[in-house]
Structure 1
Amino acid sequence: MKKAIRILSKSYKKFQVSKSPQMNLVWGFFLYTIIGFGLLSIPIFHKTNIGFLDNLFISASAISTTGLVTVSVFDSYNFFGQFIVMALFQIGGIGYMTLTTYYLLFTTKNITHWHNRLIGAEFTLPKSIQIKDFIRSVVIFTTVMEVLGAICFYVAFKQTGMESFKALWFSIFHSVSAFCTAGFSLFNNGFEGFNNNAFINIIISVLAIAGSLGFIVVTDLCYRLRKKSNKISFTSKIVTYGSIILLTFGTALFYLVESSIQYYDNVFLVSFFQAMSAMTTVGFNTVPLSNLSLPILLLIIFLMYIGASPSGTAGGMKITTLTAMLSVLKSRLFGQKRISFMGRTIPFERLYVATSTFILYTSIIFMFTFLLTFTEPFEFEQILFEVASALGTVGLSTGITDNLTSTGKILVILLMFIGRVGVLTFGFALVKKKSNIDKNQISDDIAV
């Protein structure tokens, strides 16, 4: 048996080395999804009968840190099943290669060239940040934030009168879920019952914002504290300013426009939390989203579409991609030869990536919305909302997820998977790179 496992492991390592970093990421997340599906399908982890497709959906949603569910996690799985779900979105949140690479650093003080390439594909990093420092920041910061979050949650849940063991488990589960922006909750109505509990709202917000700001910002701050650098990177500045602007814009518009929340005790808190949840892609809600007006649903779709920081726990197209696209637009409108933002020239290599991401991300939203309008009987805005939430790995829903058809569930599973590995990574994995460029290609012009 041991020999067979050794042979299988050796064969898989050869397979990994032979594939591109992008293909390795796709296979890695696919493998974890299948393992999670297999574990969740074991009846001893169930409280009730759960369908084949529902187990697969929950596994894909967890590993992609989305939070869309077709069955209640609390009512369907026992403690061990819930623990498996938490383990999956923990792995998905920090990246499946992170722990392996950290273990190598801890034991050998070095990582291989292959691990460097794979981490570089999974996390987009500026040249000023070393991968070793980045990995350490990911693991340490995640541990510290999740432990502090669990302690705060425990105090908050105990204040509501929750029994000690339940409060402890709910605290750990929701702390990991909030920091990984996974959107999974053991409450069947999310956090709707805590819309006026400022303490719980703040805990979730701090954890989600910390995770969504990204580990680049954390590593930058560590460099400053350790005096390895005397300035914050350009990426961190864009992410921080962009997050503040989007969060302020979303909160203000929600507060001023949405009439259905005017009856809540703390309208500002409700407005802030919903905007924060969409932008950070944490996917928790404190009000029923099905009651929101169409303009606010479109606002949430926009925030889910943009997302937060690259190399963090959040999904979406990313603030840096939006910044690059706005920089291109500004340069064209003002007739500038170089494309810049905040007085800094953006490299063409990054602009190509941003443009490709924007086109591919938008195209996938259109294509899957188009397909789901054929298979699902819901309103167009509900389908568009579900697609944006799935691809952005957000987890917010207007309440249609558990009523999706089997075809619809499969399409949403694929969307969540693509959203987690990244649209460009998924595209690179599918398209084989050409090693030789045709030198006889003819250069020509096109009117735009």
Structure 2
Amino acid sequence: MEFLGTIAFYIAFHQEGITGLKGVWFSLFHSVSSFCTAGFSLFNDSFESFSANTLINWTISILAIAGSLGFIVITDVWYRITGKSKNITFTTKIIVYGFILLLGIGTLIFYFNEPYAQVSDHRLMKAFFQSMTSMTTVGFNTVSISSLSLPLLLLTIFLMYIGASPSGTAGGMKITTLTAMVAILKSRLLGQKKITFLKRTIPLERLFVATSTFILYTSMIFLFSFLLSFTEQSSFDKILFEVASALGTVGLSTGITTDLSELGKSLIILLMFLGRVGVLTFGFALLMRMTKQPLEAKSEDLAV
């Protein structure tokens, strides 16, 4: 993937006048950065200068989507397409369907709102790219994040919050966790005894993990947004964006990162570490299970 991406980037950069060894280096660097959803760019404005270059936009998108979905999901889908497998796994269905749905909704919302509504050339591509970069957490941008309206900032925060596949390189809470939360809500509203989704029962242990992830991840966002609102002078929406981007290991920013205080930068660094290691892994590391099994606690009802 990265080799093919390097070739595609080289052709695209050659069209932009970046040739020779510099072109090779830029192509290799951005191919690896895209596939690993690292978001590092050798350009000062990320890819805003190449927002009209179709090949660059699609190369980044394909690499980032492949990396964020992960080898397991891609292999599962490929085996189904080639006939090596009759069915794809339940997890792959959830990830693929969820990814397409959220990506499509995000693209449409970006397309019909500012500043994309004022763009005449490549409007759909730019809207798709913004939705894609938020979900895959690749962190590149072709439109200035600081120019986004408040609704689009909140949409970007939501997509960064969700992320993509647990088997890929993307950050975020993950699509599978969101699906588990939706399944719990659906089953409770319908009065079902078992938690089901797409006619499949989700194991209780998986639901515990998903719920723990959801609570920890959401708590981290609220806690660090609360702390940064004390240490920084920026508006809360920009602070919230910075926190969601850091915890999701996205790399997008409204431009306030360099203006953060030393304490604020330290909190953002800690968030990026937690986001990469995983809030659930970090939580379990802090609360190691006791070697001795505790006595069984008395059962008691709790009104909610």
Residue in 2 aligned with 1:291?
147
Which of the numbers 73, 77, 86 marks the counterpart of 1:230? 86
Distance 2:17 2:120 in 1: 22
Aligned counterpart in structure 2 of residue 278 of structure 1, from 128, 134, 144: 134
Q: Which residue of 1 aligns with 2:224?
A: 368
What is the identity, as a one-letter code, of the residue corresponding to 1:425? T
Confirm whether residue 192 of structure 1 aligns to residue 48 of structure 2. yes
Deviation at 1:264, TM superposition (A): 4.5
The reply on whether 1:391 has 2:257 as its aligned counterpart is no
Structure 1 counterpart of 2:280: 424
Separation (CA, whole Å) in 2 of partners of 1:299 and 1:226: 36
2:212 pairs, out of 336, 345, 356, with: 356
Aligned-residue offset at 1:221: 3.9
CA offset at residue 438 of structure 1? 2.2
- Compute the displacement of 1:171 (Å): 0.4
Task: Tell me, yes or no, if the aligned pair for 1:260 and 1:291 is still in contact at 8 Å.
Answer: no
Aligned partners of 1:261 and 1:270 also within 8 Å: no
Superposed, which structure 2 residues align to 1:30-429 within 5 Å?
Answer: 145-221=1-77, 224=80, 229-259=85-115, 261-429=117-285
What amino acid sits opposite 2:127 in the alignment? S
Aligned residues: 304
* Cα deviation code 1:1-50 (max 9, x no counterpart): xxxxxxxxxxxxxxxxxxxxxxxxxxxxxxxxxxxxxxxxxxxxxxxxxx
Q: TM-score, normalised by structure 2?
A: 0.96
1:261 is displaced (CA, Å) by 4.9
CA positional deviation for 1:231:
1.6
Cα distance, 1:435 vs. partner? 2.4
TM-score by length of 1: 0.66
Instruction: Write the distance in 2 (CA, Å) between the matches of 1:430 and 1:215.
Output: 30
SS at structure 1 position matched to 2:226: helix
Q: Which amino acid aligns with 2:168?
A: G
CA distance in structure 1 between the aligned counterparts of 2:117 and 2:232, rounded to whole angstroms: 29
In the alignment, the residues of structure 1 paired with residue 286 and residue 163 of structure 2 have an alpha-carbon distance, to the nearest angstrom, of: 24
Quick one: distance in 1 between partners of 2:119 and 2:195? Answer: 47
Deviation, 1:263, is 3.2
- Percent identity of paired positions between Structure 1 and Structure 2: 66
Amino acid in structure 2 at the alignment position of 1:371: L
Of stretches 187-196 and 211-220 in structure 1, the one that deviates more from structure 2 is: 211-220
> In structure 2, what is the Cα distance between the partners aligned to 1:152 and 1:249?
28
Aligned equivalents of 2:85, 2:102: Cα separation in 1: 28
Quickly say closer, same or farther: Cα 1:390–1:228, change in 2 above 3 A: same
Counterpart of 1:416 in structure 2: which amino acid? M
What is the deviation of 1:258?
Answer: 2.1
Cα pair distance change 1:440/1:288, threshold 3 Å: closer
Unaligned runs of 5+ in 2: none
TM-fit CA distance, 1:432: 1.8
State the structure with more CA Rg: 1
Residue 441 of structure 1: CA displacement? Answer: 2.1
Shift of the alpha carbon at 1:428?
A: 1.0
Return closer, same or farther for 1:230/1:387 CA change in 2, 3 Å cut-off: same
Q: 1:148 to 1:436 in 2, by over 3 A?
A: same
Structure 2 distance, partners of 1:284, 1:298, is 18
Give secondary structure in 2 for the equivalent of 1:257.
coil
> Corresponding residue for 1:443?
299
